[in-house]
Chain A
């Protein structure tokens, strides 16, 4: 099924059935940035992520074959960081994610690595092979549009909160039964699994802001236990205490500018 730029499955091919965004971008969305850079015809948009070191299909944080660390930020992820791959990968630039600005240069060495492994592009059909073992992940970014919408709503401190000049993208694998979103607090003995302490620190994020909860069917939901400033999913405020199911590409907004984008494992 086609997927929109926000990652929703959509039976319609013109505009996404869920969020209404234009689907053209999705059709043109590149596979991992390495392929075009290597001069190999880009495979159709396949959410595969072979190991840049050895080309083996990814199954978890570390490559099962050579031990390459996928999570250390050296590899742009196809769904999020891939859009923001550095200058060498022009083909990725058109992907049109507004997260691009937030992603640092750390992937600079990747295209070369990828180019050294033509085998990866030759296996575009192996789409299921790229699923991380734990499956689901969240990518945390500072999101300008979300920030604008929060500030537009006003609120007592709206005027004093600034959008961060620089915010590294952070990625968390979802595992276990719960992943708490918040800021660690030594005094309260709180160490959330998804720790948004920063820097930069988002002043609108509660110490215990929200929880991602594993559903019996393998998907994840989000629950806001009653944070000070609330939580949004795809722009809509969720009701405190009510678990909201999550889908690939859903965007959880917390605080003043923090957006967590959900990444489901690629369908196999």
Chain B
């Protein structure tokens, strides 16, 4: 395995006398050439879970496009990769292979899988926890290191309780990653975000079923590019210091703070999932330290990228977050551009979600204030994609000051797109 990951730190290390708040942006980049010895094709497993509930039959194009999208994804699976397709209803059943295990991809198995998928019919309800449980047991039938699922649904999780879903998610955490897609506008953004967030995947809306095939093929392509599984961000902090938060901030905001697993004296590992070549992600680490005297320099955090290997954890790279106390205010008050940028991006995601929530409740004042703030933040940070999505929900009077009016009529798909994509960030301009 290669150790050519780079870990770069961007921060203002200077603290005023008595200062205890250390912020840093950690940029992790994987090498652009193959990561020396990729897991090998036997090392990957893929499961596609498609919603086959009754609602997928109306309009009929939904199930047709779901079949086509699954076929497109199956075509992208490399020879040698273990795979399966699951039909999800109020319970879950394998579509291919039928023996509750995984098939090894080759021309024949891919053909058989597509044939089986072409025959699925919509019937029954929706119990996503059951789907995850079946995927979990099928993944465990094969010793792959890189396990990834794609989950497609068009409706809400009606046939089990949120608690049942939660238990299924916890079961799968750390076993496989899962990208979630909602087709149409009858599904619940919060539900899918809960899954994708815990299972280190992405979530997105596919408003028009005709867009599914391209999206599925792209997701599978990305999954096929993953080469190192089980990578964690290890954050060591000095005695009596505390991690305030660890967040992924690019390509999307994902709070990892509660996900830390103690991994040694004063250290915890935060899962980042699998990595492919030339990937780059940013993390915001915030630590509270015990202030030291002027002129003293302290290591506030040692951030390393650690891969789980059969022979134990392997460090792929590391960066140092420092703290130096100074009585020079010109130094201690300097604001680090990256930290400020991502603090703004995290706030952007938050005010969008809060604003949409308020709008649903009918609290127009709060919705207007929050979404106005979002427009201003998107404008300042150059997050054009989010700005465009916002403009479909509010009429922008003045972007710079965040003066907006709520639109009277908003397309459900536009609102859900804004919600699901609210966490997408743009990178800092260095």
- Residues on A close to B: CB < 8 A? 12, 14-22, 96, 98, 144-145, 148-149, 152, 234-236
CA distance A236 to B239 in the complex (A): 9
* Complex interface: chain A residues within 8 A of B293 (CB): 98, 144-145
Contact B302 A15 (CB under 8 A): yes
Residue of A nearest to B238 (CB): A20
CA distance A152 to B17 in the complex (A): 11
B299 to chain A minimum Cβ distance, whole angstroms, is 3
CA distance A149 to B302 in the complex (A): 25
Contact B299 A234 (CB under 8 A): no
Contact B18 A22 (CB under 8 A): no
* Complex interface: chain A residues within 8 A of B320 (CB): 14-15
Contact A145 B302 (CB under 8 A): no
Q: Which of the listed residues A15, A16, A98 has the most CB atoms from chain B within 10 Å of its own CB? A: A15
Q: How large is the interface on B (under 10, 10 to 19, 20 to 34, 35 or more residues)?
A: 20 to 34
Q: Which of the listed residues A20, A96, A236 has the most CB atoms from chain B within 10 Å of its own CB? A: A20
Interface hit among B74-82, B83-91, B284-292: B284-292
Could you list 7 A-B pairs, sorted by A, with CB under 8 Å? A16-B299, A18-B265, A19-B238, A20-B238, A22-B296, A96-B296, A144-B293
B189 within 8 A of A: no
Contact A234 B239 (CB under 8 A): yes
Q: Which of B17, B265, B297, B302 contacts A21 (CB 8 A)?
A: B297
B237 within 8 A of A: yes
How many A-B pairs fall under 8 Å by CB?
57
CA distance A148 to B293 in the complex (A): 10
Contact B291 A149 (CB under 8 A): yes
Contact B18 A20 (CB under 8 A): no
Residue of A nearest to B299 (CB): A15
Residue of A nearest to B324 (CB): A22
* Complex interface: chain B residues within 8 A of A148 (CB): 17-18, 291
A107 to chain B minimum Cβ distance, whole angstroms, is 23
Q: Which of A12, A18, A21 contacts B292 (CB 8 A)?
A: A21
**Known interface pairs A21-B296, A148-B17; 4 further A-B residue pairs with C-beta atoms within 8 A, sorted by A's residue number:** A15-B298, A18-B266, A19-B239, A236-B239
CA distance A22 to B293 in the complex (A): 13
A247 to chain B minimum Cβ distance, whole angstroms, is 10
Query: Which residues 11-42 of B sit at the A interface, judged by CB distance below 8 A?
Result: 17-18
* Complex interface: chain B residues within 8 A of A145 (CB): 291-293
* Complex interface: chain B residues within 8 A of A17 (CB): 265
CA distance A18 to B239 in the complex (A): 6
- The main secondary structure of chain A at its interface with chain B is loop
Contact string against A for B residues 237-254, beta-carbon threshold 8 Å, 1 for contact and 0 otherwise: 111110000000000000
CA distance A144 to B294 in the complex (A): 11
Contact A20 B298 (CB under 8 A): yes
Q: Which of A21, A152, A234, A235 contacts B18 (CB 8 A)?
A: A152
B349 within 8 A of A: no
A16 to chain B minimum Cβ distance, whole angstroms, is 7
B276 to chain A minimum Cβ distance, whole angstroms, is 31
Tell me whether A14 and B299 are in contact in the complex, defined as CB-CB below 8 angstroms, given that A20-B289, A152-B18 are known contacts: yes
Contact B240 A235 (CB under 8 A): yes
Residue of B nearest to A21 (CB): B298
CA distance A14 to B298 in the complex (A): 10
CA distance A235 to B291 in the complex (A): 9
* Complex interface: chain A residues within 8 A of B237 (CB): 20
A114 to chain B minimum Cβ distance, whole angstroms, is 29
B95 within 8 A of A: no
Contact A20 B241 (CB under 8 A): yes
A213 to chain B minimum Cβ distance, whole angstroms, is 21
B135 within 8 A of A: no
CA distance A88 to B300 in the complex (A): 36
CA distance A145 to B293 in the complex (A): 6
Contact A16 B238 (CB under 8 A): yes
Q: Which of the listed residues A145, A148, A152 has the most CB atoms from chain B within 10 Å of its own CB? A: A145
Residue of B nearest to A143 (CB): B293
Contact A20 B299 (CB under 8 A): yes
CA distance A91 to B293 in the complex (A): 21
Residue of B nearest to A8 (CB): B239
CA distance A14 to B236 in the complex (A): 14
Residue of B nearest to A12 (CB): B302
Contact B240 A236 (CB under 8 A): yes
Query: Which residues 221-247 of B sit at the A interface, judged by CB distance below 8 A?
Result: 237-241
CA distance A98 to B289 in the complex (A): 18
* Complex interface: chain B residues within 8 A of A144 (CB): 293
Residue of A nearest to B242 (CB): A236
Residue of A nearest to B267 (CB): A17
Complex A-B, nearest 7 residue pairs according to Cβ-Cβ distance, in ascending order? A20-B238, A15-B299, A235-B290, A20-B299, A236-B240, A22-B297, A20-B298
